[in-house]
Structure 1
Amino acid sequence: MTFLISLIIVICFVLFGVISPELFAKSATKVLGLTTTNFGWFYLIVAFAFLIFCIYLAFSKYGQITLGQDDDEPEYSLPTWFSMLFSAGMGIGLVFWGVAEPVSHYFAPPAGVTGQTTEAASVAMRYVFFHWGLHPWGIYAIIALSLAYFQYRKGAKGLISSTFAPLLGEKVNGPIGRTIDVLAIIATAFGVATSLGLGTLQINGGLSHLFGLASSTTVQIGIIAVITVIFLLSATTGLDKGIKLLSNTNLVVALLLLLLTLILGPTAFLFDTFTSTLGSYLNNLVSMSLRLTPFTHGNWVANWTLFYWAWWIAWAPFVGTFIARVSKGRTIKEFVVCVILIPSILSFIWFSVFGGTALHLEIFDQAPIGEAVQKDISTALFLALEHLPWGTILAVVALILIITFFITSADSATFVLGMLSSDGSLDPSNRVKIIWGILQSTIAVVLLLSGGLEGLQTASIVAALPFAIIMVFMCFSLLRALREEERLAKKRRREQAKKLERLLKDV
């Protein structure tokens, strides 16, 4: 039932976009305006609250609870686990925005900061850390932690609705539960399609920059078609083969590109950038987390921060379900620390290297990086790399990384959508995975046809709002379950103490 309902809704969106792309874009933009104007504050507050809640659970009395039975061991090694969650959680976005976002902020910083100044460069890097650091991984951790706890420790189905049993009881198996699961599937489908669209734009940009291939919608549709065939072949091989192999490959290629750029770029400057930006980020974390501009009516926060928070929330059902699937046997403390801290640090390093290199080229070497970002954001990374020694080789490695990230994200999303629409099955059928794989690629095509990058961003923000509300109640449900477990554990300890006391008296 959930599968059919979700399928019908998604197909209706796709048909709407195909039949009338202009009306689709106009309608989505109108809904976007209403969302950011009326609910921007909500996105900021809940994202910050999710992060605080995760940290509280990790270092509270619940931190030693195992996501599984007490004697369960982790299914995957730490390096493999990390590579799988990182590839699914960030992937294409890091490569797409690694150069483009810092440079964009440098030329058009938040209100109150003058562009193309030293302050603008510092603020640009600080906001990049903010958008790709602790907050997104806190959002992912909420879903993943809830799913893993209820699935592996309580024996529930691998469905978003199953995490609401402490609040809804048996109603999770009725219309309310199905509604929650349908919203999760829709948010996942549009969130992943956004990233696939971004990946397609950048693959086209890389092919254009390196080989002179035209940047056009026709080429982009062709790229999506080819990649779809590849990731569907991978998806049908199962979790322990296709996704695991691709994730490990992604991490190796990403680290290779990162190290080469660090060594061949302005190395000392990049270390300085990382250090100073990390301090600035931590010092301004709270103020950035709750920053809006009600007195200036500026749109910078809506265009960047709110887009990102909505993007992460739209991705959360997919990434959370996937992370939960590969996290059995971890303690809550280990889970939260690893899922939030380690990927955030790697993101900080990534943006310090690529964003720092781009800003150094723009500010000190007068390279036209800013002009490239304003002209075609998808080619900015390749242009920046070509100004370094071995630049063409680096650009080719970057293109390979984008393609493998694209395949891994689509592969993982196909697996998760199959799980969510197959009653939480840990091994969804290939038929279901193929249907969802084709549909999410079709959504990416429709979004590109109806407005390019703006259409992709609009879809993410609109699809995320209802699921953000669901996540708030998920936190209350998880906390209630943990408190109930602690209460029962205390009761058992008291009973055991009484039994021991009686035995001692008998002796």
Structure 2
Amino acid sequence: MNNIRHAVFWPPFLLLIGASILSFTNKESFISMTTNANNWVIANLGWLFSLGGLLMVGGCIFAYFSPLGNVRIGGEHAKPMLKFSNWFAITLTTTIATLTFWSIVEPIYHLSTPPESLGLDPNSPGAALFSLSTLYLHWTFTPYAIYCVPAVVFAFVYYNMKKPYSLSSTLSPLFGNKINKSTSTIIDAICLYTLALGMAASMGTSILTLSGGIEHITGIGSSPVLWGIVAAVVTVTFLISAATGLMKGIRILSDINMKAFYVILAFVFLVGPIPFILNSSTEAFGVYLTEFFKKSLFTGAAAGDPWPQWWTTFYWASWFAWALILSLFLGRIAYGYKVKTVILVNFVLPAVFGMIWMSVFGGTAISMDMVDGVLSNALATSGPEAVIYEFFSNLPWAAVIIPFFLFVFFITFVTACDSNVAAMSGISSTGITPEKPEAGLLVKVLWGIAVSLISWSMISFASIDGVKMLNNLGGVPALFLGLVVFGSLVKICLNPQKYDKTIGEKPVENSKETTETLPKAL
């Protein structure tokens, strides 16, 4: 704690603890305050979230083909600290925590209750096509663009511009020396708060999923008591991993996680309705491409339809809330690679993986529900956490695959929490440099406990709606800062040599963390 940045750490930390205390002592006021704030957000800022997501996609494409694309993070002589396979595994598994939940639950929501303004009949072929194509919108290129833009900017300003380990550094291409210490502190504190809310929301989804699995296997009811126990176990596990540092805990977890992803993905595809998966995903992909702009900018305002605010705005708020702080982590591990490769690993490849995953899981869920409505019934009678286990119960070898899925989900979320706590703790601390990238353990412990408390409070008193409210509230300040970071990216892309202080540097000895060099093309 000696190296803590008090003005950055304490305001968001105390706000989270205060919210948790209020939820215990005055539940009605807590729910009223968060609900009113959330209603204002979705009514007034949905359009800006839609435009922001679209801009990020354009930013990734522009950066890839700009002069910045051929710049190596850390300078021309920099060697990667991670080999390519480890890098992609860490990047994917730290940004995909709730995909395993929503890939099964979300398509059932869209299939059974499509947007009223589109005139689609529930459980119709049109609703099925809308459902799968909407999964592609929510889980492929746009969300990963929201992650990728600040990650590229931070990697460049931190390693190539030699700026401090702070989110305010990402604004320096636009504002230069106008960003002083006070401004930097305010920006970092706001972003820390947004990630804490976003991470709490994601943890809420994960707690519900794990508790639903425990109930399915053991019969123990999914209740606030069980949620509290699950939250405690998850927290202890990711703090143990966080204590070991990037090169040990998270690298091992992410490698296990990727292998488990491949196994369960292959299993569901092979035992699922293969012709339906292949045909429906092809058709849905066509709809996604032809209606990309329409779907991206759908607000429902003309028809008074709240669907876009409760789905697309919810997702974009979630990704923006996570993106800025997580960019410190994603940018840090991009050292030694060209910007083109950073975009490939943070934007293109995860989006392709997400599309394959959604095609298999979403397609199977839709096919299953259109036969007898079994998943819709589970959603209506037992809640979203029950849908996943009803899904697996209707597949072969359910007694084996359900515990395995729980393991996959647990490891996925622990990996994501590990990277987020590392980023949150780093920005809360002084003395973080490329040579000394890890924050103290006590700061990590405090953040882990605070996030777990607010997460448990929201799902206990507001269930899945509480998760959505956390995402929306955390995403608002992150959205505005993200748009400014987008401006920094554009400015760097136009003339990267102007900002790159590594030009002309002599080669240095390889870091001990360097595990692999890549062909010059990368």
Short-chain TM bin: over 0.9
2:73 and 2:155 in contact (8 A); partners too: yes
1:138 is matched with which residue? 145
- Deviations along 1:144-195, one digit per CA (max 9) or x if unpaired, are 1111011111111221111122333344332211111011100110101111
2:68 and 2:492 in contact (8 A); partners too: no
Residues 257 and 178 of structure 1: CA distance in aligned 2, closer, same or farther (over 3 Å): same
Residues 488 and 454 of structure 1: CA distance in aligned 2, closer, same or farther (over 3 Å): closer
1:358 is matched with which residue? 365
How many residues end up aligned between the 2 structures? 489
Letter in structure 1 aligned against 2:472 = I
Shift of 1:231: 1.4
Q: Structure 1 residue 248 and structure 2 residue 255: aligned? A: yes
- Deviations along 1:5-48, one digit per CA (max 9) or x if unpaired, are 33233322332223222211111111111111111111101110
CA distance in 2, matches of 1:147, 1:488: 13
Q: Structure 1 residue 54 and structure 2 residue 77: aligned? A: no
Alignment of 1:265-276 (within 5 A): 265-276=272-283
Letter in structure 2 aligned against 1:94 = L
- TM-score, normalised by the number of residues in structure 1: 0.93
1:71 is matched with which residue? 77
Shift of 1:226: 1.6
CA distance in 1, matches of 2:312, 2:341: 28
CA distance in 2, matches of 1:166, 1:343: 28
Give the counterpart of 1:99 among 96, 101, 104.
104
Alignment of 1:410-449 (within 5 A): 410-423=417-430, 425=432, 426-449=437-460
Shift of 1:355: 1.3
CA distance in 1, matches of 2:191, 2:209: 27
Letter in structure 2 aligned against 1:98 = S
Shift of 1:286: 1.1
1:221 and 1:445 in contact (8 A); partners too: yes
1:262 is matched with which residue? 269
Letter in structure 2 aligned against 1:10 = L
2:66 and 2:493 in contact (8 A); partners too: no
**Over aligned residue pairs, what C-alpha RMSD do you find?**
1.7
CA distance in 2, matches of 1:43, 1:97: 20
Identity %: 27
Shift of 1:109: 0.9
1:208 and 1:214 in contact (8 A); partners too: yes
Q: Structure 1 residue 223 and structure 2 residue 223: aligned? A: no
1:314 is matched with which residue? 321
1:418 and 1:432 in contact (8 A); partners too: yes
CA distance in 2, matches of 1:170, 1:6: 26
Q: Structure 1 residue 465 and structure 2 residue 476: aligned? A: yes
1:25 and 1:451 in contact (8 A); partners too: yes
Residues 210 and 173 of structure 1: CA distance in aligned 2, closer, same or farther (over 3 Å): same
CA distance in 1, matches of 2:99, 2:148: 19
2:108 and 2:375 in contact (8 A); partners too: yes
Letter in structure 1 aligned against 2:485 = M
CA distance in 1, matches of 2:27, 2:419: 28
Letter in structure 2 aligned against 1:95 = T
Letter in structure 2 aligned against 1:337 = L
1:503 is matched with which residue? none
CA distance in 2, matches of 1:424, 1:210: 47
1:85 and 1:322 in contact (8 A); partners too: no
Alignment of 1:340-489 (within 5 A): 340-364=347-371, 366=372, 368-375=374-381, 376-423=383-430, 425=432, 426-487=437-498
Letter in structure 2 aligned against 1:386 = S
Q: Structure 1 residue 109 and structure 2 residue 114: aligned? A: yes
Comparing 378-387 and 314-323, the one that deviates more: 314-323
Shift of 1:488: 7.5
1:307 and 1:461 in contact (8 A); partners too: yes
Shift of 1:258: 0.6
2:426 and 2:439 in contact (8 A); partners too: yes
Shift of 1:482: 4.4
2:67 and 2:493 in contact (8 A); partners too: no
Letter in structure 2 aligned against 1:182 = A
Letter in structure 1 aligned against 2:113 = A
2:32 is matched with which residue? 26
Letter in structure 1 aligned against 2:114 = P
CA distance in 2, matches of 1:424, 1:354: 44
Shift of 1:346: 1.0
2:161 and 2:499 in contact (8 A); partners too: no
* 3-state SS of 1:62 partner: helix
2:68 and 2:496 in contact (8 A); partners too: no
CA distance in 2, matches of 1:388, 1:56: 43
Alignment of 1:72-87 (within 5 A): 72-87=78-93
**After the TM superposition, which segments of 4 or more aligned residues of structure 1 sit over 6 Å from their partners?**
none
Letter in structure 1 aligned against 2:104 = V
CA distance in 2, matches of 1:406, 1:472: 28
Shift of 1:386: 1.4
1:264 and 1:389 in contact (8 A); partners too: yes
Unpaired runs of 5+ in structure 1? 494-507
CA distance in 2, matches of 1:430, 1:338: 29
1:210 is matched with which residue? 217
Q: Structure 1 residue 165 and structure 2 residue 176: aligned? A: no
* 3-state SS of 2:439 partner: coil
Residues 97 and 488 of structure 1: CA distance in aligned 2, closer, same or farther (over 3 Å): closer
CA distance in 2, matches of 1:377, 1:485: 47
Shift of 1:486: 3.4
CA distance in 2, matches of 1:352, 1:166: 40
CA distance in 2, matches of 1:481, 1:348: 30
- Deviations along 1:75-109, one digit per CA (max 9) or x if unpaired, are 21222111111111112x11111111111101111
* 3-state SS of 2:81 partner: coil
Shift of 1:127: 0.4
Q: Structure 1 residue 300 and structure 2 residue 307: aligned? A: yes
- TM-score, normalised by the number of residues in structure 2: 0.90
Shift of 1:436: 0.9
Q: Structure 1 residue 177 and structure 2 residue 184: aligned? A: yes
Comparing 164-173 and 344-353, the one that deviates more: 164-173
Q: Structure 1 residue 4 and structure 2 residue 28: aligned? A: no
1:157 and 1:423 in contact (8 A); partners too: no
2:66 and 2:494 in contact (8 A); partners too: no
* 3-state SS of 1:67 partner: coil
CA distance in 2, matches of 1:344, 1:47: 14
2:167 and 2:325 in contact (8 A); partners too: no
Give the counterpart of 2:130 among 120, 123, 138.
123
Q: Structure 1 residue 150 and structure 2 residue 157: aligned? A: yes
Residues 481 and 372 of structure 1: CA distance in aligned 2, closer, same or farther (over 3 Å): same
- Deviations along 1:257-296, one digit per CA (max 9) or x if unpaired, are 1101111111222122222222221111111111122221
* 3-state SS of 1:140 partner: helix
* 3-state SS of 2:67 partner: coil
Comparing 296-305 and 151-160, the one that deviates more: 151-160
Residues 279 and 267 of structure 1: CA distance in aligned 2, closer, same or farther (over 3 Å): same
Residues 70 and 12 of structure 1: CA distance in aligned 2, closer, same or farther (over 3 Å): same
